[in-house]
Amino acid sequence: MQRRSFIASTAVAAAGLARLSCAQAAETGVSDSEVVLGSSAVLSGPLGSQIKVVHNGAALAFDAVNEQGGVNGRKIKMVALDDELKPEKALENYTKLLNDHRVFAFFGCVGSGTTAAAAKLLQQSGAPSVGGYGVGDSARERVAGSAYFVRASNAREAQALVEHLATIGVNKIAIVHLDNPGGAEAVKLIEAAMVPHKLVPTAKVVAKGDGSDAAAAGKALADSQSQAILMYLAGTVAGEVIKATYAAGSKPMFYGMSIVPGEVTAKVVALQAGGLAISQVMPYPWGEVETVTRDYRRLAERAQVPVGYGSFEGYLNGLVMIEALKRTGRDLTRARLHATLRALKFRLAGMDIDFSTGNTTGSRFIEMVRVTPEGRFVR
């Protein structure tokens, strides 16, 4: 299948803008035949490869509905810009997407600091943002009323991980996290989750997003002599840190928050001893019961998109956006879409989505999944 690229070039976006200018638009980014969505995300470097997988999963959903004529007669078009996870670059991208690319709404934006930087602009423009990834809880609160996050909160993930470790009698726990606002917040959430169990971290280690200090991080973790390591790492960084910890002579259990990509990690390092477990915030992509899950795998195989939690999350986020657009109807405005999202409540792939309670987060789904040395996931 020839699948339309999720990352639109500037030339293609400009052509789309020209078509829009010739049409009678009900709202910015909406024509008789098209609705334009925009994304500012890290699309380069070690972290970018992971986000591209998530975006490609969303493209499966959008391409499938476009093949059927679109949503209420309009096809979905995406424009995505790389912000390198830099807040100032993200703000520039959001502005460019609104003013130059004339997007109707945002979808699949990434990062805590980057999302928080866009809070005022989102509020002023009235453009909804759906399906953000890697956005910390405090950043979600900054954009409350403007953004709608599908995945469970980081606080809920931290509680589930610590509860699991406390239940199996593990009390020497270290934390390793990315050197960004999301990582710093994850540490605080994990520490807060430890308090009821009268636990404190044996070590708190920072790792750069480019993986350049993985060796030092691994040695610090090994020196802590911890039983388990909790990770808030993305891209290839988790694998590099695990590899460095093994090389320093320690083989603890590794537990990751859901931003840790298990498939990528298993390719970077041969998992040993306790291996790796991840708190997944999306249903099992290889399930056979749910029709949505089977449809996703069929579309992914046809488009040669790797089946996994990353692409499945993008796909489900895409379906949430599609459902909201469908329910809003043909008379599509930003205000109407906000009203639909605030009332949105439905079940998707065995996961309950509910924004009707007033929360910025629609799902509370958490499932602990182990990653095998071969990179397979076992529930």
User: pLDDT tens digits for 189-248?
Assistant: 999 999 999 999 999 999 998 999 999 999 999 999 999 999 999 989 999 999 999 999
| Host domain of residue 254 | 154-280
Judge if 315 and 265 occupy the same domain.
Answer: no
CA-based nearest residue to 257, from 157, 358, 111 = 157
Spatial contact of 254 and 274, defined as CB atoms under 8 Å apart: yes
* pTM higher than the cut 0.85: yes
Examine the domain organization and report whether 192 and 145 are in the same domain. no
Inside any domain, residue 2: no
Q: Residue 364 falls within a domain, yes or no?
A: no
Position 21 confidence tier, pLDDT thresholds 50, 70, 90: very low
Q: 280, 299, 327: which is the final residue of a domain? A: 280
Candidates 372, 371, 321; CA nearest to 346 is 321
Q: Are 119 and 196 found together in one domain? A: no
Are 178 and 42 in contact by the 8 Å Cβ rule? The answer is no
Same domain as 255, residue 194: yes
258: pLDDT strictly greater than 90: yes
What is the H or E stretch that residue 256 is in?
Answer: strand 253-256
Span 299-325, mean pLDDT? 97
pLDDT of residue 273: 65
The residue among 300 and 373 whose pLDDT is bigger is 300
Secondary structure of residue 174 in the 3-state scheme:
strand
Q: What is the CATH number of the domain that holds 305?
A: 3.40.50.2300
18 lies in the same domain as 141: yes
pLDDT at 8: 43
- Residue 50's alpha-carbon distances to 55, 271, 320, in angstroms, are 9, 20, 21
Q: Out of 13-17, 120-124, 211-215, which region has the weakest mean confidence (pLDDT)?
A: 13-17
Domain boundary among 280, 311, 346: 280
On whether both 196 and 248 belong to a single domain, the answer is: yes
Q: 145 with 161, same domain? A: no
For the ranges 3-17, 146-160, 198-212, 259-273, which has the lowest average pLDDT? 3-17
Poorest-pLDDT segment among 24-28, 38-42, 129-133? 24-28
Question: Is residue 377 in some structural domain?
Answer: no
- Are 307 and 329 in the same domain? yes
Per-residue pLDDT at 55: 98
pLDDT beyond 70 at 43: yes
Using left for φ > 0, alpha for ψ between -120 and 50, and beta otherwise, residue 89 falls in alpha
279 and 257 in contact (C-beta within 8 Å)? yes
The answer to whether residue 301 is domain-embedded is yes
* Cα–Cα distances in angstroms (integers) from residue 355 to residues 128, 284, 313, 351, 364, in the given order: 13, 22, 17, 13, 11
pLDDT at 3: 45
Task: Work out how many domains the chain is built from and give that number.
Answer: 2
Is residue 368 situated within a structural domain? no
What percentage of the chain reaches a pLDDT higher than 90? 85
The answer to whether 114 and 86 have CB atoms below 8 angstroms apart is: yes
Could you tell me where the DSSP H helices lie in 211-305?
214-223, 237-247, 262-268, 291-303
Q: Cα(3)–Cα(188) distance, rounded to whole angstroms? A: 41
- Do 126 and 162 sit in the same domain of this protein? no
d(CA 200, CA 338): 41
Confidence band, pLDDT 50/70/90 cuts, at residue 337: very high
CA angle 293, 324, 290 (to 5 degrees): 15
Residues 262 and 275 in one domain: yes
Q: Is residue 369 part of a domain?
A: no
Residue-wise pLDDT for 275-299, tens only, equals 899 999 999 999 999 999 999 999 9
Residue 166 in any domain: the answer is: yes
pLDDT tens figures, 45-89: 888 999 999 999 999 999 999 999 999 999 999 999 999 999 999
User: With 50 as the cut, is the pLDDT of residue 6 above it?
Assistant: no
186 shares its domain with 234: yes
The answer on 161 and 111 residing in a single domain is no
- 43 falls within a domain: yes
Average pLDDT on 372-377 reads: 83
Taking all residues of the chain, what is their mean pLDDT, rounded to a whole number? 92
Give the per-residue pLDDT at 5. Answer: 42
